[in-house]
Amino acid sequence: MSTEERIDVLDENGNSLGYSEPRSVVHSKGLWHRVVHVWIVDSDGKLLIQRRSNNKESFPGYWDNSSAGHIEAGQTSKDAAIRELNEELGILHSVNDLELLFTYNKQYVLRSGKYLDNEIADVYLITYTFPFDLSKLTLQVEEVSDVKLIPHHELLQMVVDLSPTFVPLFDSSKSSFEKSVYYQLFEILEKRYPTKQ
């Protein structure tokens, strides 16, 4: 019998409050916690994105970043990122492969207020120096239903257009995407992999 994962509880600045709670409690009470988002880009500037399983609590069936997950109690951010890549996609990496791009706070309410998500997200990039081979992946079917590669400029357009098929990367009621923290990812990718006209 598996036990529910425990998550360290933080304040909104990311400081530990010295205790952990089960994941369900963290989301029912809206407690601040840390998560990881990992983006994989290949030598052609294409991003690996995954379609979330239809069984997910939040945004089922939506396209999302390469890999993401909660940081378990006592675990480091980088170790959590490596664990999630292995669990969700069957990819083995070293913490040295992770480039921390930025950290940001994100809040949203789902399921008529029954799911409160107050998270601090560490956003990482892994850069491949060769084209990515999707056939080498082993998907965790409980978490991931599909994967694909997409040019970064096409994904940017989906995000800006608020595509109903992609997990929202910014709160459109508060700002334009260009003013959001996640715009940094696409600025970095455009510098490294300029869009061909």
**What are the boundaries of each domain within the chain?**
6-192
97-145 per-position pLDDT tens digit: 999 999 999 888 777 778 888 999 999 999 998 889 999 999 999 999 9
What CA–CA distances, in Å, run from 32 to 6, 95, 158, 197? 13, 24, 28, 43
Residue 80: Cβ-neighbour burial (10 angstroms; 0-12, 13-18, 19+): buried
User: What integer is the mean pLDDT of 51-78?
Assistant: 94
CA dihedral 152, 158, 164, 170 (to 10 degrees): 80
- Which residues is 20 bridged to in the sheet? 8
What CATH number matches the domain at 6-192, 1.20.1060.10, 3.90.79.10, 3.30.465.10, 3.40.640.10? 3.90.79.10
The predicted pLDDT at position 1 comes to 46
User: What integer is the mean pLDDT of 27-44?
Assistant: 95
Asked whether residue 162 carries a pLDDT value surpassing 60, the answer given is: yes
Is residue 66 within 8 A of residue 50, CB to CB? The reply is: yes
- Which residues is 67 bridged to in the sheet? 38
Residues 6+ apart with CB under 8 A from 68: 35, 36, 37, 38, 84
pLDDT-based confidence at 57, cuts 50/70/90? confident
Asked whether residue 14 carries a pLDDT value surpassing 50, the answer given is: yes
